[in-house]
Amino acid sequence: MTAASHDIGLYIHIPFCAGKCRYCDFVSWSGMEAFWEPYINAVIKELEQKSQIVPKRHVMSLFIGGGTPSLLPYDTVLRIMDAVRKHYRLLPDAEITIETNPGTLDHDKIRAYREAGINRMSIGLQAWQDHLLEFMGRVHNAGDFDEAIIMAQNHGFSNINADIIFGIPYQTMDDWVETITKVLSYQIPHVSCYSLIVEEDTPFGRMKREGCWQDPDEELERKMYSKAIEVFEKAGLEQYEISNLAKPQYRCQHNMNYWLRGEYLGFGIAAHSFYNNERWANSSDLRLYMESIERGSNPMSECYYITNEEALSESMILGLRLTEGIDLDYLSSIYRTDVRKKYGEKLADLAERQLVELKGSVVRLTKRGMDFANQVFIEFI
């Protein structure tokens, strides 16, 4: 585990989508076209207002997420990119990602993204089977993903991520292997592989409360996860984080900055920031956010200072997500405390349960630990 860069990341939240997926609890809405233009104006104004916080810091990554940023006309993305370049010191080799969904992309949009300097595209597939996509409330089919990937590659995008989900009710191992195989066929260098989480305030959450939910088999879920890691690694994509695999040199730098507790600023509704040992979040109320920006006031809904104790806890939890693990001696020097002594009993217990392994001063999750990571993380909260 290496230290985070002194450079910072930027995150911009676009809360609009064509249709809300049944598992999604992100701050996003469909049918809000009337708010697109005023919202983008507010984000651009916020970019200008916050630039004074980091006047001399270089930006190593920019992530435009959502929602579905690719739903909006491409000129809105161009305006955002112009504002970032005007007010921030974007490094020449900065990683610039845009989240997209199949069915919302066309040649003009992708060409415009490339011309604006966006060099990484994340495309949400989730599953290859149309009946599973329909069940999840996705507004695209597998063919739309095929078309999106081909268009992106034809326009020169080589750094592409695909999101896929396992543990979906009614999803079989054959379905999962087919999804993995299809993703591999495109030769893309990065895959994010998530287990379906049923959040309370979602349609799936309501289905579960009402007893209309079929929980997937836990053993099958673990086998799906293991199968994905095995097949992707054989194809040259190395697992570098619990849910992420990449070919050499294609790790997501923006997310690595999060996991290494690097600093970042968030823009837009509900966006989070971490800077100068403080974490804060913008309001989740769309009108309140836009009105605050218009008045020139801070749209913040919460802010708290991170103590040394909390910072160490975060470093343990976030660092253990990475397959290379954590160097306890390094953390001891950073936080001026004997980390091995502080967590010695916990680590010994976790090692006895075969959830972590300690080699020299480095502790990392075992394969079993990857399956039960939350049981590990809770020990350091």
- pLDDT for the residue numbered 6: 87
pLDDT at 105 exceeding the cut of 80:
yes
- pLDDT for the residue numbered 1: 56
| Number of folded domains that form the chain | 2
> In terms of domains, do 179 and 63 share one?
yes
pLDDT at 194 exceeding the cut of 90:
yes
Instruction: Tell me the per-residue pLDDT of 140-156, one tens digit each, with 9 for 90 and over.
Output: 999 999 999 999 999 99
Span 42-57, mean pLDDT? 94
Instruction: Tell me the per-residue pLDDT of 7-34, one tens digit each, with 9 for 90 and over.
Output: 999 999 999 999 999 899 899 999 999 9
Query: Is residue 165 in some structural domain?
Result: yes
Span 79-107, mean pLDDT? 97
Query: Is residue 157 in some structural domain?
Result: yes
pLDDT at 248 exceeding the cut of 60:
yes
> In terms of domains, do 319 and 255 share one?
no
> In terms of domains, do 186 and 325 share one?
no
Which of 176, 177, 170 is CA-nearest to residue 136? Answer: 170
pLDDT at 2 exceeding the cut of 70:
no
Angle of helix 218-234 relative to helix 173-185, nearest 10 degrees, comes to 20
> In terms of domains, do 113 and 248 share one?
yes
Span 79-90, mean pLDDT? 97
Question: Which of 239, 259, 279 is at the close of a domain?
Answer: 259
Which of 3-17, 28-42, 50-64 has the weakest average pLDDT?
Answer: 3-17
Instruction: Tell me the per-residue pLDDT of 309-321, one tens digit each, with 9 for 90 and over.
Output: 999 999 999 999 9
Tell me if residue 226 falls in helix, strand or coil.
helix
DSSP 215: P
pLDDT at 331 exceeding the cut of 70:
yes
Query: Is residue 274 in some structural domain?
Result: no
Confidence of residue 55 (pLDDT cuts 50, 70, 90): confident
- Whichever domain contains 125, its CATH number is 3.20.20.70
Span 251-259, mean pLDDT? 98
Distance CA 86, CA 369 (A): 45
- pLDDT for the residue numbered 4: 64
Span 263-289, mean pLDDT? 97
pLDDT at 3 exceeding the cut of 80:
no
Identify whether the C-beta of residue 149 lies closer than 8 Å to the C-beta of residue 123.
yes
Question: Which of 232, 259, 286 is at the close of a domain?
Answer: 259
DSSP 285: -
In which domain, by residue range, is 320 found? Answer: 309-380
Query: Is residue 1 in some structural domain?
Result: no
